[in-house]
């Protein structure tokens, strides 16, 4: 019973944050002259394919497909942020690691474009995974050896990756021949298969089959969550990661090689992010385009990891929520005329209320009787406090 | 305690969903109304440029015809395909994409919905290699940017020649976003006309490799200003606002692009206009009149789809005469600004 209570209590904070965000968002819409119910109907319809208005003609299947396409990379980048959280590391570099994976996938997919899928597809996915691992491994090594703060180094490597993308596709070696800022497409063998056949003329759920872009990368993403959960709770490495996150001194006293654990954690995190990047190229875009320069998946992943409290199930739900918000924003704007910027407001409010953790106030004894001992720190806040700890070099 | 609170949250959530589900849904149009969907690129409606102008064109069409116009702003490149597909799947009469960034998405979606009409500003429906798929249901709305660039280039050249600029070192400049055809067309016309008016002029050209971040364009502009440029032409969308600011702070002149950017900074003396509003309106008008046709429509000075505006500067009569003369010659076809930047 106590365990159930604890789990329920754990979910109350993120759930409460989401409800809080939606209430404040609704107030903002109402105050600015919009209809919050129409707005949220559009969001629900666009995001989850439910409660669609009969007059606007949204296709629920199409919307669900779009949401899945949007949340697939968040599963893996969410893990890439959550795993280092557990080790007390704040990986802000999921975006850069994702881009490194995208670049590697594109380069391999173009260079070996004539290879058949059974060879090329694993090559591009593994290539992307390795590139992401390297991109995160560098900050990991720097943190473990000379104590360079991973927040700073991963952020800087984000810039390096972003501008590397620009360099490669704007006047660089990957640019397609016609002067636009995009690479040539990867070979057919490097593309992830779609769930639904993309046969011209085939109609599914009343629309041409090609509009459903759900790809098999979803399965890889779900598998990544399982790997994450097993790694964290069922392996000795996972134990070491959690031990380092709890207290580096205690971990070291217990015989754990802290530096090694930090490096391995970052390598694995980067691998997940790099895989996400490779999957975006192999499953959705098929070429490196300028949109990757402005991509924010790796930053949304931070919110996803926090909202999901760093657990696999939490990341799954948080990813679905963010994917649905992304897909729903457009429908909300098209149907209800509410700017899709509301979605960004909602996301920020969710993150804000989790970070501030002020919902905890409701549970404070002061609300019932009088102030006493400080309330226990909520998981998300605890994760961030851990992440803000000094690097190992200074804690000896 | 936790349980009751959870139950409350659950009830509140369900109530919210039910309310949302029952919310307003009665906006059924009465008669045959043409449904127009407009998809902006990542610049958004507030870009004071393309997307804003396209929306103006749509608004004008809404007042002139029986048109239901719906707009969706793309927040990232991931949104282009879903946003275009959304309108197309709802059988809109015309789906307009703003900007060349949407070309591949336009090619994909227009192929899936051969019975829906599409129009795209500054681009075509292309495959992943940017080859025009020439779908008969896609209309490309192109502009002769060089026409507009030539008008502001002529103004810059005349000011330099008459020593009416700020430094009068005979140096002007242009800041491009990314080196792509629409950007280079502007710069080509600018340089061509400036050189024509003042053969000794030096025209610096730089690129920020960005269309959104003003700081990046500000850097490029600062370099040009330190190289004695005193009239700066921004051809970089939202990024280019940094050029206008840099010019304002350095006390030199700047030239806006695409839309009239008079209000963006006091340093803006003129703007090269790409009348995306005219193009959007024309495309909608064609659909309403049953005259939609695939292929390219080009907007230029001759059909009032391109031009210029004088902003925070009063020019002398002889400069105005020279500008009018050039405009008439381009309109008549006796002078043709080049599409490629002259050496």
How far apart CA A177 and CA A367 sit, in angstroms, is 66
CA nearest to A74, candidates A224, A293, A231: A224
Residue spans of beta strands (DSSP E) within chain B: 34-39, 67-72, 94-98, 118-121, 138-143, 171-176, 202-207, 231-235, 253-258, 268-274, 295-299, 306-310
Among A68, A333, A376, the strongest candidate for a mutation testing the B interface, having the largest count of B CBs within 10 A, is A333
CA nearest to A282, candidates A94, A63, A127, A172: A127
Query: Strands B306-310 and B268-274, how do they pair?
Result: antiparallel
CB contact under 8 A, B77 and A294: yes
How far apart CA A362 and CA B94 sit, in angstroms, is 52
Match 């391109």 to its residue by tokens.
Answer: B306
CB contact under 8 A, A329 and B77: no
Helix, strand, or coil (residue B109) = helix
* Partner-chain residue, chosen from B101, B108, B129, that has the shortest CB–CB distance to A185: B129
CB contact under 8 A, B24 and A171: no
Q: Which of residues 73-112 of A touch B (CB under 8 A)?
A: none
Within an 8 Å CB–CB cutoff, is residue A12 touching chain B?
yes
Within an 8 Å CB–CB cutoff, is residue A176 touching chain B?
yes
Match 């629920």 to its residue by tokens.
Answer: A60
Q: CA of A244 to nearest chain B CA: how many angstroms apart?
A: 31
Identify all chain B residues contacting A331, using CB atoms and an 8 Å cutoff. Answer: 86
CB contact under 8 A, A330 and B82: yes
Residue B47 has pLDDT above 90, yes or no: no
A7 pLDDT band, cuts 50/70/90, is: low
**pLDDT tens-digit series, residues B139-178:** 999 999 999 999 999 999 999 999 888 888 899 999 999 8
As separate numbers, helices (DSSP H) first and strands (DSSP E) second, chain B gives: 10, 12
Average pLDDT over residues B41-69: 90
Closest-CA residue of chain B to A18: B13
Cβ atoms A176, A183 nearer than 8 A:
yes
Residue B223 has pLDDT above 60, yes or no: yes
CB contact under 8 A, B71 and A333: yes
Identify all chain B residues contacting A181, using CB atoms and an 8 Å cutoff. Answer: 178, 180
Q: First-to-last CA distance in chain A?
A: 41
Distance of CA A336 to the CA centre of its chain: 28
Match 């995974």 to its residue by tokens.
Answer: A129
Closest-CA residue of chain B to A69: B78
Q: Please report the DSSP string for A270-320 in residue order.
A: HHHHHHHHHHIIIIIISS-BGGGGG--HHHHHHHHHHHTTT-HHHHHHHHH
CB contact under 8 A, B78 and A54: no
* Partner-chain residue, chosen from B2, B23, B179, that has the shortest CB–CB distance to A37: B23
How far apart CA B343 and CA B328 sit, in angstroms, is 25
Cβ atoms B74, B80 nearer than 8 A:
yes
* Partner-chain residue, chosen from A11, A62, A178, that has the shortest CB–CB distance to B89: A62
The larger pLDDT score, comparing residue B208 to residue A176, is at B208
CB contact under 8 A, B104 and A182: yes
Residue B186 CA: distances (Å) to CA of A244, B155, B253? 58, 14, 18
CB contact under 8 A, B2 and A58: no
- Residue A366's contacts (CB-CB under 8 Å, 6 or more residues apart) are none
Query: E strand or H helix at A390, and its extent?
Result: none
CB pairs under 8 A between A and B: 163
- Residues present in chain B in total: 343
Within an 8 Å CB–CB cutoff, is residue A331 touching chain B?
yes
How far apart CA A48 and CA A60 sit, in angstroms, is 7
pLDDT for A368 equals: 52
How far apart CA A71 and CA A327 sit, in angstroms, is 9
Within an 8 Å CB–CB cutoff, is residue A40 touching chain B?
yes
Closest-CA residue of chain A to B213: A294
Residue A259 has pLDDT above 90, yes or no: yes
How far apart CA A134 and CA A127 sit, in angstroms, is 11
Cβ atoms B185, B224 nearer than 8 A:
no
Among B17, B78, B137, B210, the strongest candidate for a mutation testing the A interface, having the largest count of A CBs within 10 A, is B78
Cβ atoms A344, B79 nearer than 8 A:
no
State residue A117 phi and psi, 5-degree precision: -55, -45
Residue A5 has pLDDT above 80, yes or no: no
Within an 8 Å CB–CB cutoff, is residue A162 touching chain B?
no
Q: Which of A222-231, B29-38, B133-142 has the lowest mean pLDDT?
A: B29-38
**pLDDT tens-digit series, residues B322-343:** 999 999 999 999 999 999 999 8
Identify all chain A residues contacting B79, using CB atoms and an 8 Å cutoff. Answer: 326, 330
pLDDT for A8 equals: 67
* Mean pLDDT rounded to a whole number for chain A: 88
CB contact under 8 A, B20 and A5: no
**pLDDT tens-digit series, residues A81-139:** 999 999 999 999 999 999 999 999 999 999 999 999 999 999 999 999 999 999 999 99
């Amino acid at each position: 019973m106590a365990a159930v209570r604890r789990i329920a209590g754990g979910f109350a904070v993120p759930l409460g944050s989401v409800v809080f965000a939606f209430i404040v968002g609704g107030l903002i819409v109402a105050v600015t002259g919009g209809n919050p119910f129409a707005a949220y109907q559009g969001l629900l319809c666009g995001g989850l394919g439910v409660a669609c208005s009969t007059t606007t003609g949204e296709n629920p299947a199409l919307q669900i497909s779009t949401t899945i396409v949007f949340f697939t990379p968040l599963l893996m980048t969410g893990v890439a942020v959550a795993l280092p959280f557990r080790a007390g590391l704040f990986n802000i570099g999921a975006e850069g690691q994702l881009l490194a994976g995208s670049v590697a996938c594109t380069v391999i997919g173009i260079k070996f474009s004539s290879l058949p899928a059974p060879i090329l597809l694993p090559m591009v996915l593994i290539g992307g995974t390795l590139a992401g691992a390297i991109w995160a491994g560098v900050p990991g090594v720097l943190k473990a050896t000379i104590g360079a703060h991973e927040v700073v180094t991963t952020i800087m490597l984000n810039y390096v990756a972003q501008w590397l993308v620009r360099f490669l596709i704007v006047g660089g070696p990957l640019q397609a021949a016609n002067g636009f800022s995009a690479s040539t497409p990867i070979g057919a063998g490097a593309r992830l298969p779609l769930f639904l056949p993309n046969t011209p003329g085939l109609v599914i759920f009343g629309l041409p089959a090609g509009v459903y872009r759900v790809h098999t990368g979803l399965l890889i993403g779900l598998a990544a969550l399982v790997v994450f959960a097993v790694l964290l709770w069922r392996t000795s490495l996972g134990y070491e990661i959690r031990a380092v996150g709890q207290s580096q001194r205690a971990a070291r006293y217990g015989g754990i090689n802290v530096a090694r654990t930090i490096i391995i954690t970052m390598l694995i995190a980067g691998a997940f992010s790099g895989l996400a990047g490779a999957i975006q190229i192999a499953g959705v875009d098929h070429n490196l385009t300028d949109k990757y320069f402005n991509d924010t998946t790796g930053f949304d992943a931070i919110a996803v990891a926090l909202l999901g409290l760093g657990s696999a199930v939490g990341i799954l739900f948080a990813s679905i929520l963010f994917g649905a918000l992304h897909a729903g924003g457009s429908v909300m704007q098209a149907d209800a005329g509410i700017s899709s910027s509301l979605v960004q407001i909602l996301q920020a409010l969710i993150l804000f209320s989790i970070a501030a953790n002020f919902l905890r106030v409701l549970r404070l004894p002061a609300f019932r009787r009088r102030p006493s001992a400080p309330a226990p720190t909520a998981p998300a806040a605890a994760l961030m406090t851990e992440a803000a700890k000094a690097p190992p070099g200074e804690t000896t | 305690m936790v349980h009751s609170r959870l139950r409350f949250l659950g009830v509140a959530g369900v109530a919210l969903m039910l309310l949302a589900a029952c919310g307003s849904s009665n906006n059924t149009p009465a008669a045959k109304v043409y449904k127009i969907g407009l998809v902006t690129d990542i610049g958004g409606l507030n870009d004071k440029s393309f997307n804003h102008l396209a929306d103006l064109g749509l608004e004008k069409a809404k007042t002139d015809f029986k048109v239901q116009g719906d707009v969706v702003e793309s927040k990232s490149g991931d949104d282009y395909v879903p946003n275009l597909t959304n309108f197309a799947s709802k059988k809109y009469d015309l789906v307009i994409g703003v900007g060349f960034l949407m070309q591949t998405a336009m090619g994909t979606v227009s192929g899936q919905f051969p019975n829906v009409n599409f129009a795209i500003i500054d681009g075509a429906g292309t495959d992943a290699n940017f080859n025009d798929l020439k779908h008969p249901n896609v209309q490309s709305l192109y502009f002769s940017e060089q026409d507009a660039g030539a008008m502001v280039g002529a103004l810059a050249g005349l000011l330099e020649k008459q020593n009416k600029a700020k430094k009068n070192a005979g140096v002007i400049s242009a800041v491009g976003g990314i080196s792509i055809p629409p950007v280079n067309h502007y710069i080509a016309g600018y340089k061509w006309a400036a050189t024509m008016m003042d053969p000794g002029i030096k025209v610096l050209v730089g690129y920020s490799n960005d269309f959104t971040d003003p700081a990046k364009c500000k850097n490029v502009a600062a370099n040009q200003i330190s190289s004695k440029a005193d009239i700066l032409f921004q051809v970089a969308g939202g990024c280019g606002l940094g050029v206008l600011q840099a010019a304002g702070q350095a006390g030199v002149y700047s030239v806006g692009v695409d839309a009239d950017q008079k209000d963006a900074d006091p340093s803006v003396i003129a703007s090269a206009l790409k009348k995306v509003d005219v193009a959007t309106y024309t495309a909608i008008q064609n659909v309403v009149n049953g005259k939609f046709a695939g292929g390219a429509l080009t907007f230029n000075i001759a059909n009032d789809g391109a031009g210029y505006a004088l902003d925070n500067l009063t020019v002398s009569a002889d400069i105005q005469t020279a500008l009018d003369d050039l405009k008439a010659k381009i309109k008549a076809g006796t002078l043709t600004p080049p599409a490629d930047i002259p050496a």
